[in-house]
Amino acid sequence: MTHTLIIHSSARKTGSVTRDLSRTLAETLGGTVTERDLADGIALIDEPWIGANFAGDAATDADHARLAGSEELVAELEAADTIVIGLPIYNFSVPAALKAWVDQVARARRTFRYTETGPEGLLTGKKAYLVVASGGVPVDSPVDFATPYMRHLLGFIGISDVTVIGADAAMVRGDAARAEAEAAIAALAPAKAA
């Protein structure tokens, strides 16, 4: 049985396109689902956190306590086979809460490492979906800094199998934007046995 982790990053609790589509996608894929709602709050990294992160074998109990939230977020990624990230485009980029999540999970020696040939992601063998919604920014257009950033970040930590489902430019395309995303999700439904 597969395990899907949904990362909700929309500040909107109701009426959020990415929340609705992310849940629909998880239901379509089947299996168990864990949801992480970044709108409920996520800590920003600071100087003591950075010190704790790089303490290595010299880490104190206080260092471990500072990293406990990060460890919980990384453990969610490790436990999941599939990651669904609800990605509303805010001012051409990712919501601040999603950037805070990135800072908590992109950790040297934990989710990636540096080698003689360059960085190597450690969260391999997973599938990710970016469920992107925007009012006016087309996905992967020159002014979309959110989708390429998240695609790169996921690859950096080892998740290179990334599919984008877009409900983009909705203020321009109207209901067609969401309908296209819903059709893309429906096409992912496992074939039913006859």
Compute how many other C-beta atoms are within 10 angstroms of the C-beta atom of residue 42: 20
pLDDT tens sequence across 54-78: 999 999 999 999 999 999 999 999 9
pLDDT tens sequence across 133-180: 999 999 999 999 999 999 999 999 999 999 999 999 999 998 999 999
pLDDT at residue 1 in the model: 78
25: which residues sit within 8 A by CB, 6+ positions away?
84, 129, 131, 165, 185, 188
Mean pLDDT of the chain: 95
Confidence band, pLDDT 50/70/90 cuts, at residue 192: low
Residues, the chain, total? 194
- Crossing angle between the packed helical segments 96-105 and 68-79, to the nearest 10 degrees: 90
Tokens of 113: 């490492």
Which parts are annotated binding residues?
10
pLDDT at residue 190 in the model: 79
Half-sphere exposure of 37 (CA within 13 A, CB side): 10
The answer on pLDDT for 194 being more than 90 is: no
Query: What distance in Å separates the CA atoms of residue 157 and residue 145, rounded to the nearest whole number?
Result: 19
Half-sphere exposure of 114 (CA within 13 A, CB side): 2
pLDDT tens sequence across 87-124: 999 999 999 999 999 999 999 999 999 999 999 999 99
List, in order of start, the domains of the chain with CATH numbers: 3-187 (3.40.50.360)
pTM score: 0.95
Confidence band, pLDDT 50/70/90 cuts, at residue 191: low
Helices and strands (DSSP H and E) totals, the chain: 8, 7
CA distances from 177 to 21, 57, 89, 168 (A): 12, 50, 14, 6
Confidence band, pLDDT 50/70/90 cuts, at residue 193: very low
3-state secondary structure string across 104-115: HHCCECCCEEEE
Which parts are annotated binding residues for FMN?
10
